């Protein structure tokens, strides 16, 4: 795990944080999911119901990862992005563990194929195996099929409710 990293929880992102999270989003997610401007991304954020942001930062407050929980259709949903340069060091699990401390149930959409390209031209590798290792159940019969994304629903429930 990267030393000197910390997770900051907040209900709103300041402009600097929004820019850094937008850069993470556009660099790490498939290119067809990218936002063309900070205004578009801000519109996405403003339409979330009861958002909670979890910012993984280094010792000079550079955002290395971003996680988010929000309400949708009477369920708690989440999203997470970690800089590719920081993957494989336990930081993604650290961020998920923070979410699990706060929420007894988490739902998410996960791209379950390696057919998409990132902005840098590299293949977007599905994180589905990572979520399985972290205790999420794959809801194989529940899919999101849109022009921009093909994904499967995942769910985690705290057994100790």
pLDDT at 133 over 50: yes
Helix, strand, coil shares of the chain, percent, nearest 5, are: 30, 35, 35
Residue 18 has pLDDT above 90, yes or no: yes
Quote the pTM value. Answer: 0.92
pLDDT at 4 > cutoff 80: no
> What angle separates helix 15-28 from helix 38-46, to the nearest 10 degrees?
100
More confident call, 132 vs 4: 132
Q: Using 50, 70 and 90 to split pLDDT, how confident is the model at 160? A: low
Name every residue whose Cβ is closer than 8 Å to that of residue 51 and which is 6 or more positions away in sequence: 11, 45, 68, 69, 70
Q: Average of pLDDT values for 65-75?
A: 96
| Residue 1 pLDDT exceeds 50 | no
């Amino acid at each position: 795990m990267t030393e000197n990293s910390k997770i900051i929880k907040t209900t709103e992102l300041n402009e600097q944080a929004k820019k850094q999270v937008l850069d993470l989003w556009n660099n790490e997610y498939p290119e067809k999911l990218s936002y063309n401007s900070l205004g578009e991304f801000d519109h996405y954020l403003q339409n979330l119901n009861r958002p909670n942001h979890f910012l993984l930062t280094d010792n000079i407050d550079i955002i290395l990862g971003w996680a988010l929980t929000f309400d949708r259709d009477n369920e708690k949903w989440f999203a997470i992005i970690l800089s590719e340069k920081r993957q494989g060091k336990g930081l993604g699990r650290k961020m998920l563990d923070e979410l699990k401390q706060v929420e007894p149930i988490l739902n998410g959409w996960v791209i379950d194929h390696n057919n998409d390209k990132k902005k840098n031209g590299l293949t977007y590798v599905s994180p589905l195996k990572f979520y399985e290792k972290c205790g999420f159940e794959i809801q194989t019969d529940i899919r999101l099929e849109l022009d921009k994304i093909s994904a499967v629903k995942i769910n985690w429930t705290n057994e100790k409710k």
